[in-house]
Structure 1
Amino acid sequence: MNLHSKKDFQDCMLSILEPLKPYYSEEKARLTLGVTMAHYDIGATWMEAFSRPLWGLVPFWAGGGKEPEFEEIYRKGLTAGTDEKNPEYWGECTSFDQRFVEMAAISYGIMFAPEVVWDPLTEAQKENLCNYLNKINEHPLPVCNWILFAVLVNIAMKKVGRRYSPEMLEEYLEGLETFYLGEGWYQDGDSGQKDYYISFAIHFYSLIYAVIMEKDDPERAKKYKARAMEFAKQFIYWFDEEGEAIPFGRSLTYRFSQVSFFSVCLLAGLEPFPVPVMKGLIARHLRTWLKRPIFDRDHVLTIGYGYPNLTMAERYNAPGSPYWGMKVFAFLLLPDDHPFWSVEEAPLPKLAPACPQKYADLFVYHYGNHTTAFAPGVYSPNGHGQIVAKYGKFAYDTRFSISVAKSCYELHENAPDNMLAFWIDGYVYVRRICEESKITENGVWSKWSPYPGITVETTITPDAGGHTRVHKITSEIDCVAYDCGFAVSRGDFEEVGFAEKVDGMSAQASNEFCSCTVSAVLDENTQVNEVADKPPVGYMITVDPNTNLLYTKTKIPAVKYHIRKGPQEIVTRVDAEVI
């Protein structure tokens, strides 16, 4: 895909949104893209699907783009959705309402493209829209990135001279400070999560604030920009040389929003890296996504990651949710003479292999053609879906991706890649959450318990070929555990030259583009008779289809260990190669 000129990127953005046009309702306030449901009501579902394309359309319009049909759709839809007397009214707001999320995209439009979404409205229509958006100041919000939706609403209303709440604006901006950790990192409020929400939510909205309020609030604008510059030094490690991103944390169905932090940096005039480097990263990232089967037959984005997949979805993923990914197009707002449109793409800068990220609770190792994040299993236990798989694995890799469980009854259904999986009484138990953890200069340590009476201390040490795991286990029962490596594609619609080998205490799975070998390591002090009765053995797990986020059919190489009562130590070597 040619992504060089401004028109190239504009055409790319429009090609994603153009297929939506037949699915807008008569009054345009509702966009129906599927029949699956999220936990919120249908009115919020319609509003979400309507609003999220604005993350791409607004910078397109603000940057000089013209698309009369979409302009008419959004003027008409905003009018209908906020008019209580209109049959397509989006509905009343309640506490913690999903509608507050979608108000952010509308506010984005009022701030950056008022000539399309605000100026043409009649006085009555503007008043309806203003009244509707101000409902965000009348109800409590979750203490997380949601408070910044209210910030965007209030500064949008302030910008167009309408009613807003200076008190709520200040309260939420002060609240944001309680999220800040250091080195550019925030946590996502009360949840404590550190994931893509820090980049595509907290930093994204902070930089919008910095642009809009630079004259009114120069100190905060300066602070938000400085934090973004610092954050970028570590966040660049979440990508590999081909633009692939680490599949870690919630909301992975937002796909190419993973790189939107760098897009909004450009919008805000920040260059944490030279413009050619940022252009190269954004363009390569988009290409990797757009070559995958992420659209349905009508070219509508699906819920999933590398392909349609409801197993990995959160409870807040409705059919319109994936269009949050349109945030990646924030750079379309840049003027025609900006260097971004003329420079050639450049590769990633030279990066040191290891990057401990203590405030992110990750140790990231950059191998070049793939990147792995090693995690201690630190996250909120109150998850939205597949929280264990998305935060609790030992390793997350840009090319191998991760797998999500279909059940805890069978290994092949649990798909425990990069987990130490205990098999007890017909159930699979893995690291759900750690009790203690630390990120060191050399790797990751965590203490955790998969099952009552079993305690594990895991030390992971990455190196140029892969990583070594040392598990110190104290168990009150005899059981079996499988130390699992990366899931390797065994082909789907195309053959990938898959091969497997189980030999003694190791197992290897490989194909034309990658390989993973998992081996038990017996140190020189281990006596043969200590393991002779039940030695570790290589094992291959043929997992259920559609469990891995990138590859529809995979196998996981592992080592099977017999865990005895009392203390013991097992050491596993995982070698991973991308060709």
Structure 2
Amino acid sequence: MSLDPVRFNPLHGNPLIGRDDVERALLALFEPLLPFFSEGRARVRLDAAGAHFDRAAADLEGFARPLWGLAPHFAGGGTMPHWPLFAAGLANGVDPDHPDYWGQPRDRDQRLVELAALGFALRLAPEKLWDPLTGRQRDRLARYLLDARERAYAPNNWKFFRVMVDAALDRLGLAYDRSLTEAYLAELDGFHIAGGWYRDGDFRRVDHYIPFAMHFYGLIHARFAGAGDPYAERFRERARSFAKDFRSWFDEDGGALAFGRSMTYRFACGGFWAALAFAEEEALPWGEIKGLWLRHLRWWADKPIAHPNGVLSVGYGYPQLTMSESYNSAGSPYWALKAFLPLALPADHPFWRADETPLAPGPDPLPLAAPGMVMTRHPGTVVALSSGQENLQMRSGPEKYAKFAYASRYGFSVEVDERGFERNAFDNTLALSEDGLHYRVRETNETALIAGHALRAVWKPWPGVRVETTLLPAGRWHVRLHRIRSDRPLRSAEGGFAIARGDDGDGETTVEAVGRAAAITPGDLAAIVDLGSTVSRGGRAQKALPNTGLLAAKTTVPQLRGSIPAGETLLACAVLASGDGAAGRDALDRPPALPSLADLDALFRADGVAVGAVEAPGDHL
């Protein structure tokens, strides 16, 4: 028997080329859930791990999220024999006298999230979910939805969930207070920054929730509401603009930039391309949209992302609870089925008839002012240099939002030891320590600017310590400059990219020397080289703690470590990661030169503009 856990992945072995392949993929992802439906069919409990919300809401999550894919499948003419499970579950889940009752929705309740999937599914598949119910069951379901939509929703993409419920109420002919929907649409409209980029609420962050939530629901609303709706064309226009930027977050193999929270939703990252198809919005040529979408699905087909029973795991490239959010239950990963929206289109739609085309060339580097990123493209990966954003509310916020660089091929690491200054990965991070045990990294910025292809941010890990970080691309490398002013001595550790390492180390080498460190494997090379810091730093090839990397359970991170005196210090380095061995070795011998700080200062004085995500309104500034 093969020991390779990739075989547990329901997508494994599927070529994912045509519509039939995609239909088979959807049903293969759903079928492992069947043994876990409760006797009353309203709850799906996949394991004993908990989230911050109650178990009934988690069980509803397991029930509802597959409908993001199954409802479009039905709408496009697909068949499956398990719709009676969902009709029975709907009837029992809203019945207070039934053991499977989901509980009454409250303000900011997880149930409000999952009812968006039910609203969407009722809109697309009432024949399977509404028509089989008795009159009394329909009345209960209607009251449940009408009561839920009057609750207060979280001040972010959640406001779209009321809009999704109302789409069902429209289809079912049920009256409701439309002013509540109008109020939320107006608030959602106010989250727009520029050029199709939104904030996910009044927070200093921009992440995958913009494509797989804000645009995803906006495009669904645009299709359901039609041209007469005042927001429909606005959502379409913004999606057209956003598509030109968001394509830069995908590499030529289909991998998406790993950045921000909720990465356990995996191929939901391709949900934006799916939503463009669903809304019949040709923001890019259909062949390019189809290619971006299908390559992304294929990218996931060879990853060990499922348990032996075929149920998707919490994690990213493998089962990994350390990267999860407090709101991730075992059913959370099935938000990934948002990627199956195109199945709602008929087989003769231009999207399906189009030949898949490669990613068209675009500007490289590409500055993105709203998220504060400079995107660069390299063989097998895209890299985002990042000004740094803020998430102080959730676990591992600094790792998910405030590193200096993120990549599709290498993901990022989450630290698991708050006293681990000597052990932690610190990939694409500068960690500072007073005692050699505890440490601080960038968590938020005081200012963040973008000028041309350069980024500059000021951050303060402690009172009395100020760091100004400047980032700029340099061919296969990128350059980092940190001007530090400290009122006390500190220790420093700065990491490059985290690359996968094998169990036995065969064919793997490391370099540890004054001013440089590298890790070289048969598949990848990662390096960090000092460019003339005012203090000496020693190189270390750090074997990161297991199960901290998003894509590989074991990684090596090249680091530079040293001491910083009180006063002013310049740390300067160049960082490289390459999946092309020959090119990587060639680049390793030719690091870039130290750029002129005077020239960079002049650039930011003349052309520096504030990063949009950092300019969020509200009390988070």
Moved more, 207-216 or 140-149: 207-216
Task: With the length of structure 1 as denominator, give the TM-score of the two structures.
Answer: 0.95
Distance between the aligned counterparts of 1:412 and 1:299, measured in 2? 38
Which residue number in structure 2 is paired with residue 514 of structure 1? 524
CA contact (8 A) 1:489 1:498 kept: no
Aligned to 2:366, what secondary structure does the other structure show? strand
Deviation at 1:216, TM superposition (A): 4.3
Asked if the contact 1:405–1:413 (Cα under 8 Å) also holds between the matched residues in 2, the reply is: no
Query: Which stretch of the first structure deviates more once superposed, 419-428 or 317-326?
Result: 419-428
Retained in 1: the 8 A contact 2:206–2:389? no
Aligned-pair CA distance for 1:413: 4.5
1:565 matched to 2:576: no
- Identify the residue that residue 139 of structure 1 maps to in structure 2: 151
Superposed CA deviations along residues 17-74 of structure 1, whole A, max 9, x for unmatched, are 11110110111101010100000011101111100000110111101011022x1111
Code of the residue aligned with 1:576 in structure 2: it is A
Q: Find the counterpart in structure 2 of residue 229 from structure 1.
A: 240
Which residue, out of 386, 399, 424, partners 2:409? 399
CA contact (8 A) 1:404 1:414 kept: no
Task: Identify which range, 3-12 or 118-127, moves more after superposition.
Answer: 118-127
Q: Tell whether 2:337 aligns with 1:315.
A: no
The one-letter amino acid paired with 2:549 is: N
**In the alignment, which residue of structure 2 is the partner of 1:333?**
344
1:87 positional shift: 1.5
CA gap of 1:46–1:412, structure 2 versus 1, over 3 A, is: farther
Residue matched to 2:110? 98
* Residue 29 (structure 2) pairs with residue 16 (structure 1): yes
Give, as a single letter, the amino acid of the residue that structure 1 aligns with 2:68: W
Counterpart contact for 2:366–2:453, Cα < 8 Å: no
In structure 1, C-alpha distance between the alignment counterparts of 2:40 and 2:476, rounded to whole Å: 58
Alpha-carbon distance between aligned partners in 2 of 1:412 and 1:97, rounded to the nearest angstrom: 41
Distance in 1 between residues matched to 2:304 and 2:78, nearest whole Å: 28
Aligned to 1:160: 172
Once the two structures are TM-superposed, the CA of residue 121 in structure 1 deviates from its matched residue by 2.0
C-alpha distance in structure 2 between counterparts of 1:458 and 1:171, whole Å: 40
- Say if 1:412 and 1:541, in contact at 8 Å, map to a contact too: no
Which range is displaced more, 225-234 or 123-132? 123-132
Q: Which amino acid aligns with 2:410?
A: F
C-alpha distance in 2, partners of 1:520/1:374? 18
> Displacement, 1:150?
0.5
Asked whether 1:358 is paired with 2:366, we answer: no
Q: Look up the equivalent residue of 1:574 and give its one-letter code.
A: V
C-alpha distance in structure 2 between counterparts of 1:215 and 1:225, whole Å: 10
Q: Which of 484, 504, 519 is 2:495 aligned to?
A: 484
1:65 maps to 2:65: no
Where do residues 436-447 of structure 1 align in structure 2 (5 Å cutoff)?
436-447=447-458
| Equivalent position amino acid for 2:572 in 1 | V
Paired AA for residue 541 in structure 1? Q
Residue equivalent to 2:309: 298
The aligned length equals: 566
Aligned partner of 1:551 in structure 2 is 552
State the one-letter code of the partner of 1:39. Answer: H
Q: 1:8 to 1:311 in 2, by over 3 A?
A: same
SS in 1 for 2:481: strand
Aligned to 2:4: none
Q: CA RMSD in A?
A: 1.5
Pick which of 207-216 and 312-321 moved more: 207-216
Q: Who is 1:376 aligned against?
A: 387
Q: For structure 2, which runs of at least 5 residues remain unmatched after alignment?
A: 1-13, 581-621
Aligned to 2:182: 170
Distance 1:45 1:522 in 2: 53
Partner of 1:527 in structure 2?
Answer: none
Structure 1 residue 347 corresponds to structure 2 residue 358: yes
Cα distance in 2 for partners of 1:45, 1:480 equals 44
Give me the whole-angstrom Cα distance separating, in 2, the residues matched to 1:174 and 1:496.
58
Give, in angstroms, the shift of residue 496 of structure 1.
6.8
**Contact residue 500 and residue 552 of structure 2 kept, 8 A:** yes
What is the TM-score when the length of structure 2 is the normalising length?
A: 0.89
Summarize the alignment of residues 72-91 of structure 1 with structure 2, pairs less than 5 Å apart. 72-91=84-103
2:379 and 2:578 in contact (8 A); partners too = no
Q: Secondary structure at the match of 1:260?
A: helix
Q: Secondary structure at the match of 2:323?
A: coil
Q: Which residue of 1 aligns with 2:43?
A: 30
Q: 2:221 aligns with which of 209, 213, 218?
A: 209
Change (3 A) 1:108 1:49: same
Deviation at 1:273, TM superposition (A): 1.7
Could you tell me which amino acid in structure 2 is paired with residue 407 of structure 1? D
Residue in 1 that maps onto 2:584: none
The AA in structure 2 aligned to 1:142 is A
1:387 corresponds to: 397
In structure 1, the gaps of 5 or more residues are 524-529
Separation in structure 2 between the aligned mates of residue 564 and residue 411 of structure 1, nearest angstrom: 18
Q: Give the Å deviation of 1:98.
A: 0.3
Kindly provide the amino acid, as one letter, of the partner of residue 140 in structure 1.
Answer: A
Alpha carbons 1:367, 1:464 under 8 Å: kept: no
* Residue 288 (str. 1) matches residue 299 (str. 2): yes
1:472 matched residue in structure 2: 483
SS in 2 for 1:322: helix
Deviation at 1:572, TM superposition (A): 0.7
| Residues 195-274 of structure 1: pairs in structure 2 closer than 5 A | 195-217=207-229, 219-274=230-285
Aligned to 1:189: 201
With 372-381 and 5-14 compared, the bigger mean Cα shift is at 372-381
1:249/1:391 contact within 8 Å kept: yes
Q: Would you say the 8 A contact 2:379–2:579 is kept in 1?
A: no
2:131 to 119, 142, 145: 119
Alpha carbons 2:67, 2:121 under 8 Å: kept? yes
- C-alpha displacement of 1:412: 5.5
Give SS of 1:402's match.
Answer: coil
CA contact (8 A) 1:154 1:165 kept: no
User: Using the alignment, how far apart are the partners of 2:225 and 2:523 within structure 1?
Assistant: 48
Tell me the distance in 2 between the aligned counterparts of 1:6 and 1:539: 49
Deviation at 1:443, TM superposition (A): 2.0
Displacement of 1:215 in angstroms is: 4.6
